Amino acid sequence: MEATFRIEVLTADRMVLDELIVSLQARGTEGFFGVLARHAPFISALAAGPLTLRYPDGRSQVLRLSGGVLEVAANHAVVLADAIE
């Protein structure tokens, strides 16, 4: 089984999801990047675009963000999104 990490995706008014995932891909203001389990801590501003999540069972989910911030620390990622489609 692939290593997982927890992701929380929030907007100002609600929690959109709280899940265990294998990886994520996001569009930062400096370009696209990916995160796997046990990634080094960092913070990135997010540009408008897709947030792609891959789950342990192999399925993927794409959320469309209008921008926001992503923080990764201690095998946990938090996305504070301006808005999600």
Whole-model pTM: value is 0.94
pLDDT tens, position by position, 33-70: 999 999 999 999 999 999 999 999 999 999 999 999 99
Query: Residue 13: beta bridge partners?
Result: none
Query: What's the pLDDT at 1?
Result: 76
Query: What's the pLDDT at 85?
Result: 84
Give the number of other Cβ atoms within 10 Å of residue 3's Cβ: 11
Residues 29-36: contacts with CB within 8 Å, 24+ apart?
35/5, 35/72, 35/77, 36/3, 36/5
User: 5-81, what's its fold?
Assistant: ATP Synthase; domain 1 (2.60.15)
